[in-house]
Amino acid sequence: MSMQKNWKERRETGMEVVKSFKVSKTFSVFTLVLLAFLVLYFSSNPVDNIGKSWLWKTQYQLEREELGRVLKNASMDDRTIILTTLNKAWAEPGSMLDLLLESFRIGEGTSRLLNHLVIVAMDPTAFTRCKAIHPHCFYLTTPGIDFSEDERFMSENYLKLMWRRIDFLRIVLELGYNFVFTDADIMWFRDPFPYFDSVDEIHIACDFYKGNPRDKGNRANGGFNYVKSVGATIEFYKYWYKARRLHKNQHDQQVFEIIKHEPIVAATGLRIRYLDTKYFGGFCQASKDMNKVCTMHANCCVGIEKKVPDLKAILNDWKNFTALSPQEKEAKGSSSSASPWSAPNKCKASWKH
């Protein structure tokens, strides 16, 4: 009886082992099939790309949240901010960033505007420098691209930098902020806001101004503009950015000159005002009256090594002007038909070349 019982227990135990083996074998087959499916799936959808896409989306969301915080801290009461972008080369001590900030400090009614200036750094070094000297800094990343060097005009990275900026400005508008965008090679000598018209959505500076603020023949310069956050401007910036695909190897300013004539832009009712170079001048067409000038731009100039010394000369001219008596200032503005500026010098030679 005991032997029969033992035999029965062994038989039942053996059956359990067989069942367990069958289950294990079935599970192993299922696992292998599943793994094979995953291998096939990820071979057509590489895991690196999925990971990068996920990381980019996460980074984009965090970046947008940080941007919202920075803009809020720098905003005026009407949700207007001043923006500039720069990279490592332009943020070096004694370079563009220092000149821009100095102009704000010595301009008439401009020092208070520094509280509303957001410096957008295009690389980590520029961001670190900004954080050391200014309260409102934002690091705008561009995966896979190094924007730290002084990008030569119309180089591949120069074009990418310009179009990255247009897309960024569209995001600022979508967040509900009006902005004044200024290139860092623009010196601020007076508060520009009194010269903006309340009925126009876009105010843009000119390389060459023909005398009529509505004339589409004015050659615009995207380095200085005041844009209101409304539906028409948001759609325009979207269209402007997309239009780069139709006009390859052209920078944002060239594409603006094309699309501003298109019926689709006119149909939005968008009102564009071209700013008079008497007030918003540059090396292309300088303001001749220092009593009226608001900004001076180192346009029509190639190379930071040319821009910096000429802008230093411009700042020195302004300091000398502000040291004059009111009578001397008035006389200097009304009597001279020639340019009161000692620059451009190096820039003029670079542009001709």
Give residue-wise pLDDT tens across range 221-243. 999 999 999 999 999 999 999 99
Domain with 276 in it: 73-298
Q: Which of 142-151, 303-312, 331-340 has the highest mean pLDDT?
A: 303-312
* pLDDT, position 159: 78
Q: Is residue 327 part of a domain?
A: no
Question: What span, in angstroms and rounded, lies between the C-alpha atoms of 285 and 312?
Answer: 18
Q: Assign 6 a pLDDT band (cuts: 50, 70, 90).
A: very low
Q: Is residue 319 part of a domain?
A: no
Q: What's the structural domain count of the chain?
A: 1
The CATH number covering residue 238 comes to: 3.90.550.10
Question: What span, in angstroms and rounded, lies between the C-alpha atoms of 158 and 150?
Answer: 9
Give the 3-state secondary structure of residue 273.
Answer: strand
What percent of the chain clears pLDDT 90, i.e. is strictly above it? 65
Q: Assign 77 a pLDDT band (cuts: 50, 70, 90).
A: very high
Q: Is residue 303 part of a domain?
A: no
What percent of the chain clears pLDDT 70, i.e. is strictly above it? 76
Q: Is residue 61 part of a domain?
A: no
DSSP run (H or E) holding 4: helix 2-44
- Assess whether pLDDT exceeds 90 at residue 58: no
Each residue's pLDDT tens digit, 144-189: 666 555 555 556 667 788 889 999 999 999 999 999 999 999 999 9
* pLDDT, position 227: 98
Q: Work out whether strand 295-297 and strand 280-282 pair parallel, antiparallel, or are unpaired.
A: parallel
Among 111, 103, 148, 151, CA closest to 128: 148
Among 277, 242, 236, CA closest to 260: 236
Report the 10 Å Cβ neighbour count for 309: 14
- Partners of 120 in the β-ladder: 85, 138
User: Lowest mean pLDDT: which of 49-53, 111-115, 155-159, 314-318?
Assistant: 49-53
For 91-97, which contacts have Cβ atoms below 8 Å and span 24 or more sequence positions? 91/121, 91/125, 91/126, 91/129, 91/130, 92/129, 93/129, 94/308, 95/304, 95/308, 96/184, 96/185, 96/304, 96/307, 96/308, 96/311, 97/129, 97/130, 97/133, 97/184
Q: Is residue 335 part of a domain?
A: no
Q: Is residue 323 part of a domain?
A: no
Q: Which residue has the higher pLDDT, 152 or 247?
A: 247
Question: What span, in angstroms and rounded, lies between the C-alpha atoms of 160 and 201?
Answer: 26
Question: What span, in angstroms and rounded, lies between the C-alpha atoms of 147 and 184?
Answer: 15
The token pair at 302 is 């190639």
DSSP E strands in the chain: the ranges are 80-86, 117-121, 137-139, 178-182, 186-188, 202-208, 219-227, 272-274, 280-282, 295-297
Q: How far is CA 226 from CA 54, 82, 127, 333, in A?
A: 35, 9, 24, 27
Q: Assign 99 a pLDDT band (cuts: 50, 70, 90).
A: very high
Q: Are 212 and 166 in contact (CB under 8 A)?
A: no
Q: Is residue 60 part of a domain?
A: no
- Assess whether pLDDT exceeds 60 at residue 332: yes
Q: Is residue 190 part of a domain?
A: yes
